[in-house]
Amino acid sequence: MLILIVAIFVELVVSSRLSIGRFGWSFLTTATWNPVTEVFGAASSIYGTLVSTTIAMLLAVPVGLITALFLVELAPPAIARFVGTGVELLAAVPSIIYGMWGLFVFAPWMAGYIQPGLQSTLGFLPLFQGRMNGQGMLTAGVILAIMILPFITAVTRDVFAMVPAAVKESAYGMGATTWEVTRRVTIRYGFRGIIGAALLGLGRAIGETMAVTFVIGNSHRIRPSLFEAGNTITSALANEFAEASEAIHLSALIELGLILFLITFVIQSFAQVWLKRVSRGMGVGL
């Protein structure tokens, strides 16, 4: 087991040495990606990964939090179990299915309803300009949000359930409303657990491949508009890897993979250590 993770790391470094040697640190800041002239830079992919995951987190964290609140505090047990199963099934749907649905159903829906609405109200921002074909950063971000929502909801639900009833009841006893108890007691008490949940979701979103590849449009250019095509580290890998014929192209792609591996490993490790500290602090296992 230990060897496996070291082997992955070593193998990725060895296989990308060609590209590391040729481009050095500038790989991270160059936005050009041109297989013909053999100039490669990861900036557009890293940018795309950052933007799409940011959109996903902005949508999924609040929604996941409030859904968890509904499951723990508000819903009758039967409904909570029903919704809980639904959320779990949402997590079990394979990512390629999200991709299919995103490409053929959700993207046209975005183009037909959401994008025109955003453009007519917030069109003065460069974020919401450009053509509206449904694909692009925004759609990818929304689909990622749907995919990580179940994870955030599940962990947050566990965190909320760990808050001792006595603490909540004493707040209710003072006449606080459900929302006041949630905001000032439950969320504050479980704050660090919620951060851990968000980190786990973040790790998922960054590594997600197929769904993003279907809807992001796949272009190696950085554009300000969220409606325009972009790409992410994972979508670049999925699209080009099997077709990369030049050694340097392949090597650059593997270096992209290495960057992704490092990012997710750091996030995962941090989330683990964090959650462990939280559960120790609360005296309950997560």
Partner 1 sequence: MKATSHVGRMGLDVTIKVLAGLFAALALVLLGWILATVVTRGATALNWSFFTELPPGPGQAGGGLGNAILGTLVITALATLIGVPIGMATGIYLAEFGAHSRIAAPVRFVLNALVGAPSIIVGVFVYTLMVEPFQHFSAYAGAVALAILMLPVVARTSEDMLSLVPNTLRESALALGAPRWRVTLGVVFRAAKAGLITGVILAVARVSGETAPLLFTAMNSSYWMSSLAEPTANLTVTIFNFAMSPYENWQRMAWGASLLITAFVLLVMLTTRFALRAQERQR
- Burial string for 252-266 (b: 16+ CB within 10 Å, else e) reads bbbbbbbbbbebbee
Torsion-angle region of residue 217: left (phi > 0), alpha (psi -120 to 50) or beta?
left
Q: CB-wise, 52 or 213, nearer to partner 1?
A: 213
Helices (H) and strands (E) in the chain, counts: 15, 2
Show the CA angle centred on residue 259, arms to residues 254 and 263, nearest 5°. Answer: 145
d(CA 104, CA 121): 26
What minimum distance in Å lies between the beta carbon of 213 and partner 1? 8
Specify the residue, 115 or 153, whose C-beta has the smaller distance to partner 1. Answer: 153
Min separation Cβ 204 and partner 1, Å: 7
Spatial separation of the C-alpha atoms in residues 134 and 77, rounded to whole Å = 39
Q: Decide whether 114 or 127 has the Cβ nearer to partner 1.
A: 114
Q: Phi/psi at 217 (nearest 5 deg)?
A: 95, -25
Please enumerate in sequence order all residues whose Cβ is within 8 A of that of 248, keeping only pairs 6 or more positions apart, or say none: 18, 19, 22, 38, 40
Closest contact distance (angstroms) between CB of 266 and partner 1 is 10
Rank residues 88 and 169 by Cβ distance to partner 1 and give the closer one: 88
Structure tokens at 281: 């602090």
Q: Closest CB to partner 1 among 107 and 129?
A: 107
Min CB(114)–partner 1 separation in Å: 14
By beta-carbon proximity to partner 1, the closer residue of 2 and 165 is: 2
Minimum distance from residue 255 beta carbon to partner 1 (Å): 10
Smallest distance from partner 1 to CB 221, Å: 20
